[in-house]
Amino acid sequence: MAVDEGVAPAARTDADGTVHRLKPNAVGLLGVVFMAVATAAPITAMTGNVPFMVSSGNGIGAPASYLVAMVVLAIFSVGFTSMAKHITSTGAFYGFISYGLGRTVGLASGMLATFAYVVFEPALIGIFSTFATTTLKDQTGLHIPWWTFAILMLAVNAMGTWFGVSVAEKLLVVLLATEVTVLAAMAISVALHGGGPDGFTFGPVNPVNAFQGTSAGLGLFFAFWSWVGFESTAMYGEESRDPKKIIPKATMVSVLGVGVFYVFVSWMAITGNGEKEAVAAASSANPLAMFFNPTEQYVGHWAVVVMQWLMITGSLACGMAFHNCAARYMYALGREGVLPSLKRTVGRTHERHGSPHIAGLVQTVVTAVLLAAFWIAGKDPYTGTYVLLAILGTMAILVVQAVCSFAVLSYFRSHHPESRHWFRTFTAPLVGGVAMLAVVVLLVSNMGVAAGPESGSLVLKATPWLVALVAATGIGYAQYLKRRDPSRYALLGRTVLEETKER
């Protein structure tokens, strides 16, 4: 179903069967890049993942893990961006897979992607609250309950989605610029000083070392985990200027730009400490010392203080980006009337801001319920809420990414045989899809270690089954619509804008 170009969001109603649309031309290339990079949360990925990779994964080969992951994700993105040049829809994976592999697989994938982003937000609120309470207590002596910060972040995220993507973009630009700056300051300072106590060592970026260490699979999984959300660029297609050009560019910039940054910063953190000292710091009672030590030595104590505060704002930016993603997936499912009631609720957009405001409020309520459930269960906001929900969401989104790669293969064979290319539309998506399935296997085989103290949790044990249940529900409901309501089945994953229609 198409929406005419130039019609204001406020003018869209359900009476004649049309759909409400998001505000067009609201964000440019840099805005889309910032939104995508925010979901990766560079400072959280570095300070949260790298010490664990060094201590329990592939040791000093952590930067090499990022190098391997960057290459794999870049190959995946070749096929992904080829499809983005033909299809523009806020449903992203939902729309892509629906066109490539059919409406049934499309709905299952759309529900899985929505599920992933829904649980990512409370996960990030958990780590945000932990960073906030710890930093405030360490630097001011004040002890404020973690749930106070959780409520604050819920409110900020809800307002960001209500007022539209342009408002969220402005907030994220500021937050991302500051966190990237302080990490870059540490890394560049180490480089300018000629490295650490051992000088420059190239072992950390030797690709062979990505497959060494205590648990190479765990290290590689955490490297891929650090990119989760980069594919969200496609969600902003309907709100961006010239999406056929912007979305492919933004995706590759996000993958390669973040990758180079991750490799350089993690490499310099290890070099700045010295290889043996880096492993010791990462394995200590305060693993953040792996970043704090070189920052203090080569930049100054003030930078350590700033870095602690930016860990808070970085997780806030990440959670805000995930909230926007979840709301847009809900909206994409809702506007097509997957359930009739959804079209009148989450499928509507704000009359003035053109935002998925109702979907955003629903996401806020769901997040609050999940946080309350984990709190009642006595889960720590970091080791419980963040870790368990992040693993759950990551498994779901990795499965969808793998399916999307295979959808690219089918799409160009059946829809655009004239555009087929041996690398862009065949080799790259095939290799990307197989690699993504391998990462899912890495996740399943390393879940217990990744969960740490929550390795025996019922939530962790249920994770693969929950993912399978969501997918099975999507398949079952799509088949039900196919038999009982063909007109609604025909809409699944097919709502795009007329000016950006599939072509």
| Cβ atoms of residues 90 and 79 within 8 Å | no
The domains of the chain are located at 29-492
Cβ contacts of residue 241 below 8 Å, gap of 6+?
25, 27, 28
Strands (DSSP E) contained in 377-470 are none
How far is 331 from 232, CA to CA, in rounded Å?
A: 14
User: 319-352, pLDDT tens digit by residue?
Assistant: 888 888 888 888 888 877 777 777 777 767 766 6
DSSP letter (8 states) at residue 418: G
Helix (H) or strand (E) holding 148: helix 146-162
How far is 376 from 503, CA to CA, in rounded Å?
A: 50
Q: What angle do CA 390, 46, 386 make, to 5 degrees?
A: 20
How far is 213 from 125, CA to CA, in rounded Å?
A: 32
Residue 135 CB neighbour total at 10 angstroms? 17
| Cβ atoms of residues 97 and 404 within 8 Å | yes
Burial label for 276, CB within 10 Å (0-12, 13-18, 19+), is exposed
| Cβ atoms of residues 463 and 395 within 8 Å | yes
The CATH number for 29-492, chosen from 3.30.420.40, 2.40.170.20, 1.20.1740.10, 1.20.1560.10, is 1.20.1740.10
Where helices occur in 417-457 by DSSP H, the ranges are 428-451
Residue 260, token pair as written in the block: 């180079």
What is the C-alpha R_g of the chain? Answer: 22
| Cβ atoms of residues 275 and 54 within 8 Å | no
Residue 502: left if φ>0, alpha if ψ -120 to 50, beta else—which one? beta
Cβ contacts of residue 318 below 8 Å, gap of 6+?
38, 39, 40, 41, 44, 124, 229
pLDDT beneath 50: ranges in the chain: 1-16, 497-503
CB burial of 155-164 (b: ≥16 within 10 Å; e: otherwise) equals ebbbebbbbb
Largest CA distance in the chain: 71
How far is 478 from 312, CA to CA, in rounded Å?
A: 41
How far is 265 from 276, CA to CA, in rounded Å?
A: 17
Decide: helix, strand or coil at residue 476: helix
Say what the pTM is: 0.85
Helix (H) or strand (E) holding 345: none
Helix (H) or strand (E) holding 458: helix 458-484
Phi, psi dihedral angles at 240 (to 5 degrees): -100, 165
Distances (CA, A) of 294 to 161, 196, 284, 313: 38, 8, 15, 21
Looking at the chain, how many residues does it have? Answer: 503
How far is 358 from 162, CA to CA, in rounded Å?
A: 8
Distances (CA, A) of 459 to 363, 392, 465: 20, 9, 10
